[in-house]
Structure formats: structure tokens, C-alpha cells
Structure 1
Amino acid sequence: MSAGNAASTEQVFDRVTRRIAPVWPLDSFVAVNPYWGFADRPFAEVAAQLQGTAGERVIMDRRWYADLVQKGKLTLPDILKAAESLDLSTNEEEWRDYLRTSPESPMRLPTLPELMDRHGHASIAQYVVEQISRFLAAYYDRGQSLWSYPKDPKLGLFGSWRQYTIVDRSLGPMGLKAIRPQLLALSPDGAEARRWAQQTLAIPKVAEEAYFLVLLKSVGGWASWCRYLLWQAEMQGGSHQDLVDLLAIRMVWETLLHQTARPKVLERWQQQIQGWIRADKSADLEESRRGEALLCASEIAYRRQVASVIRRQPARPKTGVEATPLVQAAFCIDVRSEVFRRHLEGVMPTLDTIGFAGFFGVLLDYRRQGDFAPRTQTPVLLNPGVHVEEQGPGPIIQRRFRRLRRSAEWKHFKLSAASCFSFVETAGLSYIGRLLADTLGWHRPSLPPDEAGLSAAERASLQCVLPASLSLQERVSMAEFILTGLGLNRGVAPVVLLIGHGSSTTNNPHRAGLDCGACAGQTGEVNAKAAASLLNDPRVREGLVAKGWNLDPNCCFLPALHDTTTDRVEILGGLDEPRLNIEILTELRVALEKAANLTRLERMLRLEPDLQDSQVVARNMGFRARDWSQVRPEWALAGNAAFIAAPRWRTREMNLAGRAFLHDYDVGKDPDFAVLTLIMTAPLVVANWINLQYYGSIVDNQRQGCGNKVLHNVVGGTIGVLEGNGGDLRIGLSEQSLRDSNSGLQHEPLRLSAFIEAPKEQMDEIIEGNETLRQLVDNRWICILQISPEGTIYQRQAVGQWNPI
């Protein structure tokens, strides 16, 4: 192969692997846009490509939309309006006929193992995925397996798989022993193996890239894991070869089967590839464009609902003493905060809430005492710049270590090969108490890592300390960044509450997915504590005042944590501050409890609508957090559809049903648009990831979701889950997080609509200046709308083209 051809081939491999979105491990599970690798292409084109290659659905079936029309939830005028915006036919009768007919499944690219499957025999296609998955689970194990897989770093992923497969005894029962000599003759180098497989398969050039993508998608969960490893390496300026090695493994499997398959199977395989090449792809694209029109019509209907509740002017402008509230409570923009904020403002009119990304502007990582490496507490799109350390009394740290060690030893005893079968007999009747406690929910929920091994008093004594290497000037700059982001340029209240969020669950591998996405799948406790500590620092306060900040000397910043399962808000520290106003604190505590009751009552309507008594509801929510069999402790972010960046008065007292990310933003306090740039390039993109993870998990749960939670088994310690005891690594959200048997879907598949109160020209400039954001907007993965100063809503169509809705 010439140098030019080799370079071209490597470019093909690189493009294929870049189409895969990453998946984060269970202990830092964050929502990911599953179409991230396709953001550079228009939505409808991607839908047609994925449906016509891997058979992956990107748009709901037209029959689903026809049902919405029949129920009156979707109207033909909205469909025609959407069709017009996408340059499609606006003939009403034509659309009626379209909704009445059933869609035809497009031809997709077949892989060789699928054509080798025979009725009544074990599936070759399934075996290939199982064999690769078993190997990868052992290879990447993070401490779950008691017997670790022996790895040779020199071999790499492909070389290790080759070595594993040569001695794999499962080949015989599948009738595949003949591939062993071919594998022995194959180079252990992944790059050479890819080139050999490419030449042997001889896929026509026009279909080659699509075929390789289908192969990688056949082990898409593990491909996403390898993409995560590459993502992490590139964030640190490095690289990682495992993803292309995984592609090599899948290509080599295809090639080995190619050399052992019957001639008739090979002939049929080649015919189907040729048929796919000759097939009219324009029909698939037209079908996807029509599907997008139906999706767009649903979004038009939802935007109209949001536009109807956005205020055109403040209900009652504050003047004089009222201008500065007694308390300002800063919440994460998470949609679950919208419900709590609304009720908290209602029960305490002298309080204002603020919406800001849950990391509170502190780009940090955090290392507990005794940990070998820090963990990220920053949006995964960004690199942490501040290293925060845990600080506390030595005896407490030692006690935590001893408790955690005893717990680990007990677990090892239960699971080890020597004792697992005799455990019940050994434990005997003494274990009945624990079984009853698990069943009746008498114990505490599973503890997050920062609480495990600690009593409440011990936990309160630990602090999150900024590094001593940070100069006073750097600390003051950080404080300015936080205050500016929170919109506290002026009028800071006597008490400012910084409220992170987390969730309480038991026996839930995806518990981190219920915590803060802005804190990389952790609770916001560390970020709230670090920000409050910084802003309470007397030297920092002096530096802020010297730079012109109008801060009341008695102003006190308190960290807190909102538990989104129980809706309890816990104040985490700062109560011993001498400047803290006790009367205000007492009023605040009462308001937090009242707001929690109202929030629980509202959320329970979606969980168990028959429960209406506040005390019964509170007990039920607490039990959900402790119940080891609960598959749905809360609905999390199901239903999310809007992102609103505007002054709070635009939406205050308005019921957005927990479907909107609320980010406070006042353009009058942002003269250089630095905060607007941050909002549009970080929190907005994170919200897009969350939105499209829910979207993808709804429209194709088989490929972008993780199936039935009841069947999940953790693999690799913290890598992810399998559904059942084998198959591909499952990604995305479970069915139980999206729907229930009584009320059906709890998440409506809509792309995110972002309402932002800022000048159109400035938003255009930010979009054009950020390649990631530009692709998401221009290719219709997200919709940008402007709230004008008068309250009129304009939708962005292109640079400089904004149309009123």
C-alpha cells in the first residue's frame, strides 16, 4: 500500500471512530449527547444515515405522531408551519395521507455474522459481541473481579484480544475452531491487522466507511467506553489507541468469518452490499426530513406554551428597601430546581432565587485525604484549573479508613470463591435482621463517597480547602468570576445560600446520573463549600471591596445541598459565622421546609398520584431513597425541553412543570458579554447533552438506552452495566427512567429550545465564534430563540435572520 493510500485509510478509520460519543463510568456518570460525533452534519441527514446503515432510529415513528394528531396534542397547522420552515410540501391532504400510511423500513448494511446465523443454531452475530464483551470486561476491570486479567502493556488492546482469543475455549462449541490458525498467523499489531482486514474484506470504497461504522456500532457500548478513554487522554493533551484497536478487533472478526463462511453466504453478503450501494438514498433522506418536520411541529407547540408564560414586564418592580432581598438562594440550573425555586419564592417573598450551573464557576478537582488521585467536579467539557483538598482532624480520617476497609473485607468475604456458596450457612440467622432492614427500608440510603464511613458530625468537621499556592489576587479574581456569574454585581443579600444538589438512592448503579451533571456526575457539595469558603474569606472580601464591589460586611455565604429524591435542603456549614443573622436563618429554615413539602406534593403527582397528604408523601419519598428494590426513586430530568437564560422576573411565579433549565442572566450586568459567552458555550452545551441523551434513549432505547433496569449487572466495578449476563455494554437511560406502565412516556422527545435574553447580534457572534456551538445550532441539534427587551420571542434561522414566533 502506498503512503498516500495508507494515509487515506487512516483518515477513514479516524472519521469512523470520531462518530462515536463517549460514555462516562458509573461513579461519574453524566448525560452525553449520543449524536455528538455527528454534530457537524444536519439532523435529517444523520437520521437517514444511521437508519440506513446501522438501523438506528433517530426520529420517532410517524405512527407515534399520527397518534398525537388523533388525540389533539399535535395540529396540522403546526405541521404545515414546520414543513414550510424545512422547505417541504405544505399540502394538507398530502400530510394527512402521509400520517395514515405505514413507513417502509430502509435497506441497511448487513454484517457477515448476521447472514451466517441459522435457525435452530446459536447466533454467530450474538456470539461475536459476547466474546468481545467478555474480553473487554476482564481487560478493563476496575477492581470488581477478584482475579484480575493479566495484561501486558506492550501488547495493547488488540494484541491482548488476539492472545485471549487464541486460547478461548468457546470457539469450539460454536464451530469456529478453524479461525485459530489464522489468528496465530496474524500480526499482534492493531494497525497491521486493520489493513489486512480491509484488504481481505474488499468492501467497495463507496460503502467502506459506512460498513466500518456499522461494525463499530455492533459493539457500540464498548466503543463509547473506548471513546471516553480517548476523550480523557485528549483533554490532557495526549492520545489513546484503544478505540481504533476495538475497530481492528471487530474488523478481524469479520475477516476471520469471511474466510470460513460458506460460498453461498458470501455471495448473498456481497449482493446485499451492492444492493445497498445502488439503493436510492434520496428516499431515505426525504423520509427523515418529513420526520423532522413532525418533530419540529411538536417543538413549535411546546415553544408556544413557554412563550405564553414568559413575562413582558415585572409583576411588581421592587424599589427602595425591597430592592435587596433578605436571602438570595443560588440553585443549579437543573430542571428539578425549577420546581423547588418556584415554591421557595412563594413561601418567602423576601427571598430571591438565582439559577447558575451547579459548579458555581469554580473549575476544580477534589482529592479526599487518602485518595491516590483527585476526581473532577467540573463540567466534562472543561478542564479543572483549581485543585481542592479535603482537610480535617487526623483521627476522623483514620476512623473513616478503618470503617471502609472493614466494609471492603466483609464484601470480599461474601463474594470470594472460597466462601460465597457457604455464606448463608455461615451467617445463619444473624443475617435475618439485615435482610429485613433491606426489605422494609429501615436503613439509610446508599451513601455517596464523601459521606461513606463518616457520621454526620464527622462529615461536618471536614473542609474543602483551596490550595495554598493560589495567591490572594487569584482568589479575588475567582470570587469576582463567581459573583459576576451569579449576577451579584450589586445588591447582595445579608444571607446568600449556595445550593448544590445530589440524590439519595439504594442499590442503583446509575446513582451518579441523578447527581449534578455540571459537577461531572458528583453532588455539588464540594463546589458549594469551596465557593462559600472563598467568598467568606476576610482577605478576599477586603480585596473585592478594594476593587469596587459593594458587599455588606455582614453578608454571609452558606453552602447547602438539595437532595432531589427527598427534596430536603441541608445547610452544610457556615452556621458559626459571627456575622450570620440568626433571625433570617430561622425564617429561611422554615421556608425551606415548607417549600420541600410543596415540591414533594407536586413531584408525587407523577410518581404516585393517589398520595396527597404531605406527611405521607414525605415518608414515601424517604422510603424511595432507602428501598433497594425501587427502580424509580425520582424522575430526574425526564421532561426537559427548554433552557431559559433571562432575569428571574421573566419566569417568577410561572409554572414551567420542571421542564426548563433556568439560568439567571441580566445583560445589563454583563457589559462585555463574558457571562453570556460562558452560558452559551458551557451550560447550554451541557443542557444539550442532557436533552439529547433523554431524546436518544426514548427514540431508540435498544441502541441509545440501557433497557430494563431490573436486569442490569454491573461490569468492571464502575465501567457500566450489562443487561442480563452478557451482550454489549449498555449506555444511556433505562426504560424505567423514561416511562411507566400507568401514564406512559414521562419524557417527550423534543430537541432543546434555548430562550436567551440578549442582543441578536451578540448571540450570532458567539455562535459563529465557537465551532461546537455553531454546528449544534446550524445543523438543528438545538434551537436558539431571543427574548427581546419587550418580551417578543424571535427564533434564529441563520446569521442575522431572526423571525418572530
Structure 2
Amino acid sequence: MSVTSVLTKESSNKKEITIDFIESNISSLVESASKVIAPLWPISTFAARHPWMGLEKQSFDQVADWLKNSRDVDIYPSASMILSAKNKGEINEAFVKQGLQRWLDTNLHTFSLPRDVAERFCHAALGMEPIPTNLLSSVELMKKVEEFRERNKDTIDHSSIQPISSQIENQDRERLINILDYHVIKWCKLYLDDSQAGWEMPHREEGFYRSWHRLVCYDPALSKLQRESLKSWPEEADSALENALKALNISDAEIQSYLEAHLLSLPGWAGMMLWRSKQSNEEKTLLTEYLAVRISLEWALIHPYLPFRNNQLEKRESIPSLLAAWIHWGSLSLEEWTYMSGAKQQEYLLFAAKFDEKLCRKLWLEAWEQTHAEQLRQKIISNQSSNSEKDTALAQFVFCIDVRSEPFRRQLEKEGPFETIGMAGFFGVPIATNELGCTHSHPSLPIMNKPLHKIIESTEENELLSFQQRKQTVHSLSYTFKTMKQSLLANLLLPELSGPWLSLQMVARSFVPKTANRFIHNLRQAWLRKPKTNLVLHHVHQTEEGIPIGFSEGDKVNYARQALKMMGIIDNFSPLVVICGHGSQSTNNPYASSLECGACGGQSGGFNARVLATLCNLPEVRKELSLEGITIPAETVFVAAEHNTTVDELHWIYIPEELSDSAHAAFQRIEAILPRVSHQANAERLAKLPHFQSKQSKPKSEAYQLAEDWSVIRPEWGLAGNAAFIIGQRTLTEGSDLEGRVFLHNYNWQKDRNGELLDTIISGPGTVAQWINLEYYASTVAPHYYGSGNKATQTVTAGLGVMQGNASDLLTGLPWQSVMQSDNEAYHSPLRLLIVIQAPKEYVERLLKNNAIFQQKVQNGWVRLASVSPEGHWENW
């Protein structure tokens, strides 16, 4: 059964699909099946991805059950993670007991067990103490199990359809699906390669299926018989897919399930195909082509074994383990079991199957989340006494909502009369950026959106020409090195030419990484000498790739107005307003882009910060805004900076030539306190890194050491630990140590009477925060399936992503070092995102009524929701 059929329990009413229907609707079947995977972006444009984004119509618990039954993938935290959290005081056991009572109230009426017996069993099972192996294998236990089986048919089972190749072994006892995966990975790497390979896949321009069809008959990894069988295969992907499904004797009702099973076999490569299919019309059928290649190859591999019945994979609950559970946790003796009626024995086993280890871990997870929510509530309530209106701050800083901004903001606020504000880190300007000397632009906004404008960085013509020549020289050297490395003859000479320099570089980077990196960086900067630049903000009726260059006059005002409203500063401006993007730095790190903005495809936010600051300084924009009631004082100046999260420093990237006297005084004050802010933020952040020997006097030096050493596998924690998203005024949390675990977005309900701003925050930044949260969640609870393994052993492949070894799935999630403290202890707490909204109850009710997608996320357990009333009362929804 397909995932939608399994989860909604509608399979019994599903009508038979005719072959004619399949032939005319193969694309719709593929599209429906694709909901079980998520698009995968190239690692160079890494963006957090919600692995279950296509399944949100079902509840989190339903999806968890389906994944366990169909793929044996468990998405609840492991028992060891739960016990570790319990021992660290992160779980209040009172919430576990409350959850158990709610479950018994809802479910116990379907069983005839006495409540005290059921409670005793459940309480013991929640201890998650493993059942002794000697009990499971005891002769007496097995004797009782055999007696039960003779009297009763075992009906406690789950089933799911699996690829036929997973059920057949060759003469070497290797499952054919492993051989199939090997072939599919090889062809995917060839087709998707992004300029990493020296030789392109022939006929690649014809599409994946057609290029494969032309070449597969020459594949030496296939037998002659297998190659011959594919020679007469259809030339069109949809026809080939139909042929393969018919040849494998897949019934009409099982087709979608069968496609889902194959997509889930290599969700990384399939996810990359899905992403590519959404980027252009030329590749819109790419996922169909992928399935056509995969299932056609499967047919060729298993052809000698046909006919073969594709049995549903049955997973029966082990009666010995269920009976042992009652003996171990329910204090049931074998003698008591013997004198029970057959119906009562069946009842006991069914109850044990229902209240299994998975359900125990579900209750513990919910208690863990309740404990975190209660701890956050206490911090907010204890902070209410200080929630009073303040005078205009000396400077206002606008940071990204990223959780890494919170500790830096807190340290900054301690140092003076500074106000910090949170909003989405692209600052509301939907642009593609074209930096000086670059021939290509890149989107600089959340990947779920498309850029509406292109902003070009420019300089004087003679300076531009000189800079381009210097940059081309560097590019030419790099290109020549790569070309020689991939050339059959030139690579024999390459070691002689490059060996001394590369050896010296290796030694320097290994023993004095900071000095070596600084030297290389300074050498590069001295050679490039990037000139002073300006931004082309004025639209000049030119477009590139269908995107207008610059903004119209109306656009400038609209983006400035919307950004100021989202920040919540449409009055009471400080003399200096600092728009702060954020970026990171690390060396020899395939996942470097994951440490940039978690939403914007591995891009930093500095360019966007500069664009918005420049817009807000334009006299014509200020004039139009003043007519609408947003009056920016003449002495207020907007500047742009970038927060480097790896070393916790603030770098200025745009300062107007003229500052007002009050803005200049504010700037001087900031310059004076920034070293102290950086020192404190680094000391706090570095102390959380494992095995870090704190040198309190030199946290900045230690931070740079981690950022520039090419052997460091964890330069920073990134967004690990994220657990909540607070939408409200900074006074709600100011002064509270939120431990770098909370996304913070400013919001003033009094300036949002119709609720549009709140809906925009939930639909945009709220969705991004949820995706980030579930990316970290999945990589923690199921690292073998949703993570990417040890960073030290990853292989960058095809310029797209990473594998473990040379033939694995394209790994979709975060590396082990991004979520784990050690091999046995998690750093990231796998909690579903808690969204806290500071607004009256009726605002939240209106939001849920008008935003059906968000309401679905809350009801189905993909996010948690709470609100704080204007009077300071907390309410869970």
C-alpha cells in the first residue's frame, strides 16, 4: 500500500487502477509517490530541508509508524538519548506520568485488562530497561509460546511492499537490491555531475533516461545477457517505466507503493532528481526518468529469476518478546499465564504490542518537550517585571533570527543602551546578487522563494577592468591545475611542478594553521585588491534571465517600508541603525555552507544588509515613507555589518561617507565595546564545544584557531540545540539566557491589527525555522538514514554532495559532528519546534483559522504552539 493509503487507512476502499489509466497517468503516480522524499539541494547551496514536508497531512505519529513498518527507520529519540536527558534534568517525570494517564484514558477501554494491572505494566515498561536475554531464550518461555501458537493464529503483524530485488540473492548471497543501488548511483553521478568530472556523460543533453538508454548496452558491469535484454527497451522514459512494472507483474493497486519503495531506497539521489525536476522545464520529468532507469535495471537484474511473486514484507510481532515483557515488566508468572483463557492471553499480548517500546519513547519525547516548554515559560515569566518601555537606544541592531545571534545580542545589550531586533536574515529584499567581477549571480533569499530583482556590485570602469584581470589570473591558475590533474598525460608532470608548493602548504596548514591561513588570505587580498564598490539599485530597464536589474522607485519604498514594519521600528529611531547579516568561516569543510544562513542556500546575509541599509538612507525613499507616517529623523543613519558566527565578530561592510554627529558618537561607542562583546560571546560559545580546553584570556585566538585549522571537524555548533521560535517584542526575553537555542523574531501585535504581519512571519520565517528544526531532529534520531555520517570520512562527489565511500546514497542530512557531542552522547536535543507568539488569544485563533497549513502543522504534531498574552499569561495550544 502507498504511504497515503497506509496512513489514512483507505486502502480497502481503493478501486483497481486499470492499465489504460496507468499509461495515461504515470506522471501523476510518480508525483504522488514523490511525497515520501524531499528535494535535496546541492551542498554548495545547502539549505535545511524538512525530510517529511510532503507528509504533513498525516500526523507525526502516523508517519513515524509508517516509516518504522516500511523502512525500519525509527524517528523517535533512542532510549539512550532519553535516559541521558533524564539524568541531566531535561525531562520532568511528572509529565511522563501525566502522558501515560492520558493514553490509558483514551485506549484502555478497548482492552479488558484491570487498570491497576495495565498501569503496573506501563510504568515498568517506561523505565525502558531491556528484557534479559536469558528470559527471551528460556526453554519454559518458548514452550508456552508454542502452546499459544498451536491454539491461536498470529495476527499481530504489519506489512509493506518492498522492491522485488530486495527479496532475491545471487549465487554469492548478495541481495540484488545492493547491486541495483550500485548501478543507479553510478549513473546518477555521471548525469548529475557538476563540473567535477573531467569527461562529461555522452548524450547528457538528451536527458537522463535517453543518455542512459544509449550507453547501458556498453556497460561492462552488466552481463552480456543483461545488456542484450535492455537493447530493445523503449526509448521514452514513461513507456520504459510502464514496461518494467508490467514485466515485474506489479499489480495496479501496488504501483504507487512500489514507486515509493524505490524512491526510499536511495532518498538522497532521488531527492536530488526531484530538486532538479523543479528547476527548469527541460528536466521536469527527471524523477520519472530516474524511476524508469532504476526499475528497468531492476528488471534486467532479476530477469533470470522470473516469475517471482512479490510478497508483501511481513513484520510479525515476536510473541516471545511480548510474553517476556509481561513477565519482566508486568510481574506475570508462567503459571499465571498457563491458567489464563486463550482470549485473555490474546488480550495481554495485544496490549503489550500496543504499549511497545516505540510508544514508550513517544511519551518520553512529549514529556521532554513539555519540560522544555515549562522551563522557557519560567524564564519568560521571571522576566516580566523588567518589561517596561525604554527611552530611545543609542543604536539599534537588526540581526537575523538565527539562534546563534541570541548570545551575541545578549552580550551586546549588556554593554550599553543598545536595542537588538530580530527578523529574517534576507531582510525582506528578494534579490539575486552579482558581486564585483563575477559572471554569475546567485539567489540571496530563502530557497522556497524566487528572486525578483538582481543587484549588481559595480565600480569605476578602469578599476573594474583591472580587478577582473587580477581575478581572471587566479581563476586561470586554478582552472589550469584542475585541467592538468584530469588530463591523461599532463597529470604525470603535475606532481613535479606542484609538489614542493603543495607540500609546503600542507606542512604549514598542519602545524601553524592560523599563520598559514592568514598568510594565504593576505596574499590573495593583496593581489586582488578589491576596489571600493557601489550597488546598482536603480532600475535601468534591463533584465537578465528574466529578472530586472535594480528596483523601481516604488519597489525601493515598498521593501524599505515592509522591512521596517517587520522589524517593528516605524518610529522612535536611534541615531544609528545597524543591519547585521551573518556568515561563517571554516577550512576544509564540505558542510561549510550549512554554517551560513540555514534558509538561504548557504549564502551569508551581508549583501542583503547592505542593500536594505542603502535603501533606507536614500532621501527619496525617506520622503515617501514620511508621507505614510514613517518619519526617519535626519540624524538617523543606516549602516550594514556582518556577524561572523564562527569567531563571534562584527565586521562593517557599509558605512556612508557622512555620519551625523549623534550617529558618529554611537559608532565610536560601538567600536569601543565590540572587542569585549566578542570576547564574552566567544568564551560562552567555545565552552560548549567538546574537549575544548578553555583559555579564558584568549577566546578570540582559540576561535580563529578552530576556524582556520583544516583538521578541525567542528568549527562551531551551527544551529544545533534549536528548540523554540519566539515571535514577540525583545522585552519578553531581554536579559534571559536562552542558551543559543531560540529563534527570535520581533513582533508587536498592537501594530498588526489585521494580523497580516503575524501570518507573514509564520508562513515565511516560521516555516524556515521548522525546516531547520526538523533537519537537526532527523539527523539526530536517525543518522544512518537522514544524516551524513562522520565528516572525516565523507567523499565529496559530483560537486553535489557527500557520500560515505565511493558508492553510497547521496547523503541528505547533517554530519555526525553537527549534532553529537561524542560517539555515545547527543548534543542536539531532538525536540519539535515550539512556536511562542506574544499576542492576545484572539490573534492566535484568527491565525489558525486563516492559515490552514499552519493549523495542520500544529494539529498533526509537526510543531508545537504556545502564546503569551499582553498580561503575561502563557497558554499551550
Q: Which residue of 1 aligns with 2:121?
A: 94
Do structure 1's residue 42 and structure 2's residue 59 form an aligned pair?
A: yes
d(CA) in 2 for partners of 1:316, 1:27: 44
Q: Which residue of 2 aligns with 1:333?
A: 401
The alpha-carbon distance between structure 1 residues 317 and 2, as it changes in their structure 2 partners (threshold 3 A), is closer
Residue pairs, 1:472-511, within 5 angstroms: 472-511=553-592
Q: Which residue of 2 aligns with 1:444?
A: 517
d(CA) in 1 for partners of 2:364, 2:731: 33
TM-superposed deviation, 1:497: 0.7
TM-superposed deviation, 1:239: 7.0
CA contact (8 A) 2:180 2:298 kept: no
Residue pairs, 1:168-179, within 5 angstroms: 168-172=219-223, 177-179=224-226
Residue by residue over 1:656-712, the C-alpha shift from the partner in whole angstroms, topping out at 9 and shown as x without a partner, is 111100111111222332221111100010000000000111111111111111121
Q: Which has the larger radius of gyration?
A: 2
Match for residue 676 of structure 2 among 578, 588, 594:
594
TM-superposed deviation, 1:352: 0.6
Match for residue 786 of structure 1 among 864, 867, 873:
867
Match for residue 585 of structure 1 among 667, 671, 675:
667
Q: Which residue of 2 aligns with 1:305?
A: 375
Q: Which residue of 1 aligns with 2:336?
A: none
Other structure's SS at 2:572 match = coil
CA contact (8 A) 2:437 2:467 kept: no
1:243 maps to a residue whose letter is L
CA contact (8 A) 1:525 1:559 kept: yes
1:301 maps to a residue whose letter is T
Match for residue 199 of structure 1 among 227, 230, 246:
246
Q: Which residue of 2 aligns with 1:538?
A: 619
Other structure's SS at 2:580 match = strand
d(CA) in 1 for partners of 2:726, 2:27: 42
Match for residue 185 of structure 1 among 232, 235, 254:
232
2:242 maps to a residue whose letter is R
CA contact (8 A) 2:459 2:531 kept: no
Other structure's SS at 2:279 match = helix
Q: Which residue of 1 aligns with 2:441?
A: 374
1:564 maps to a residue whose letter is T
Other structure's SS at 1:420 match = helix
Residue pairs, 1:172-321, within 5 angstroms: 172=223, 177-205=224-252, 207-233=254-280, 240-261=284-305, 266=308, 270-273=310-313, 290-311=360-381, 314-316=384-386
Other structure's SS at 2:876 match = strand
d(CA) in 1 for partners of 2:351, 2:766: 33
Q: Which residue of 2 aligns with 1:721?
A: 802
2:576 maps to a residue whose letter is V
The alpha-carbon distance between structure 1 residues 306 and 7, as it changes in their structure 2 partners (threshold 3 A), is farther
d(CA) in 1 for partners of 2:652, 2:760: 28
Question: Does 633-642 or 402-411 show the bigger shift?
Answer: 402-411
CA contact (8 A) 1:312 1:791 kept: no
Other structure's SS at 1:745 match = coil
TM-superposed deviation, 1:36: 0.8
CA contact (8 A) 1:55 1:108 kept: no
Residue by residue over 1:198-239, the C-alpha shift from the partner in whole angstroms, topping out at 9 and shown as x without a partner, is 2222234554433321211112111111121233348xxx97
1:128 maps to a residue whose letter is L
RMSD: 3.1
Question: Does 601-610 or 61-70 show the bigger shift?
Answer: 61-70
Residue by residue over 1:224-273, the C-alpha shift from the partner in whole angstroms, topping out at 9 and shown as x without a partner, is 11121233348xxx97111121122222223223322277xx35xx3454
Do structure 1's residue 522 and structure 2's residue 603 form an aligned pair?
A: yes
d(CA) in 1 for partners of 2:851, 2:705: 46
Residue pairs, 1:698-737, within 5 angstroms: 698-717=780-799, 719-737=800-818
Question: Does 554-563 or 283-292 show the bigger shift?
Answer: 283-292
TM-superposed deviation, 1:624: 1.2
d(CA) in 2 for partners of 1:783, 1:702: 26
The alpha-carbon distance between structure 1 residues 463 and 510, as it changes in their structure 2 partners (threshold 3 A), is farther
Other structure's SS at 1:362 match = coil
TM-score (norm 2): 0.83
The alpha-carbon distance between structure 1 residues 635 and 95, as it changes in their structure 2 partners (threshold 3 A), is same
Q: Which residue of 1 aligns with 2:199?
A: 147
TM-superposed deviation, 1:408: 2.6
1:256 maps to a residue whose letter is A
Q: Which residue of 2 aligns with 1:803?
A: none
1:95 maps to a residue whose letter is C
TM-superposed deviation, 1:5: 4.6
Match for residue 719 of structure 2 among 618, 625, 637:
637
Identity of aligned residues (%): 28
The alpha-carbon distance between structure 1 residues 521 and 275, as it changes in their structure 2 partners (threshold 3 A), is closer
TM-superposed deviation, 1:795: 1.6
Question: Does 586-595 or 496-505 show the bigger shift?
Answer: 586-595
Other structure's SS at 1:682 match = helix
TM-superposed deviation, 1:397: 3.4
CA contact (8 A) 1:17 1:244 kept: no
d(CA) in 2 for partners of 1:742, 1:179: 43
TM-score (norm 1): 0.90
d(CA) in 1 for partners of 2:584, 2:158: 42
1:438 maps to a residue whose letter is R
Other structure's SS at 2:771 match = helix
5+ long unaligned stretches in structure 2 = 1-17, 109-114, 132-155, 320-348, 541-550
TM-superposed deviation, 1:761: 3.1
TM-superposed deviation, 1:146: 1.4
Question: Does 401-410 or 310-319 show the bigger shift?
Answer: 310-319
Do structure 1's residue 12 and structure 2's residue 29 form an aligned pair?
A: yes
TM-superposed deviation, 1:379: 0.9
Q: Which residue of 2 aligns with 1:802?
A: none
Do structure 1's residue 351 and structure 2's residue 351 form an aligned pair?
A: no
The alpha-carbon distance between structure 1 residues 457 and 212, as it changes in their structure 2 partners (threshold 3 A), is closer
The alpha-carbon distance between structure 1 residues 67 and 596, as it changes in their structure 2 partners (threshold 3 A), is closer
The alpha-carbon distance between structure 1 residues 253 and 575, as it changes in their structure 2 partners (threshold 3 A), is same
Q: Which residue of 1 aligns with 2:334?
A: none
d(CA) in 2 for partners of 1:430, 1:681: 51
TM-superposed deviation, 1:537: 1.1
2:238 maps to a residue whose letter is A
The alpha-carbon distance between structure 1 residues 142 and 452, as it changes in their structure 2 partners (threshold 3 A), is farther
d(CA) in 1 for partners of 2:864, 2:377: 14
d(CA) in 2 for partners of 1:652, 1:258: 64
Do structure 1's residue 29 and structure 2's residue 29 form an aligned pair?
A: no
Residue pairs, 1:743-758, within 5 angstroms: 744-758=825-839
CA contact (8 A) 2:574 2:636 kept: yes
Paired residues, number: 777
d(CA) in 2 for partners of 1:704, 1:163: 34
Do structure 1's residue 679 and structure 2's residue 761 form an aligned pair?
A: yes
Q: Which residue of 1 aligns with 2:450?
A: 383
Do structure 1's residue 117 and structure 2's residue 117 form an aligned pair?
A: no
CA contact (8 A) 1:359 1:527 kept: yes
d(CA) in 1 for partners of 2:523, 2:180: 40
CA contact (8 A) 1:497 1:560 kept: yes
Do structure 1's residue 408 and structure 2's residue 479 form an aligned pair?
A: yes
5+ long unaligned stretches in structure 1 = 797-805
Other structure's SS at 2:37 match = coil
d(CA) in 2 for partners of 1:520, 1:460: 27
Q: Which residue of 2 aligns with 1:800?
A: none
TM-superposed deviation, 1:404: 2.5
The alpha-carbon distance between structure 1 residues 757 and 591, as it changes in their structure 2 partners (threshold 3 A), is same
Residue by residue over 1:557-608, the C-alpha shift from the partner in whole angstroms, topping out at 9 and shown as x without a partner, is 1110111111111011215224263322121012222111111111111115
CA contact (8 A) 1:51 1:106 kept: no
Residue by residue over 1:410-442, the C-alpha shift from the partner in whole angstroms, topping out at 9 and shown as x without a partner, is 343345433435433333444443122221213
Question: Does 423-432 or 747-756 show the bigger shift?
Answer: 423-432
Q: Which residue of 2 aligns with 1:799?
A: none
CA contact (8 A) 1:53 1:211 kept: no
The alpha-carbon distance between structure 1 residues 81 and 577, as it changes in their structure 2 partners (threshold 3 A), is farther
Other structure's SS at 2:471 match = helix
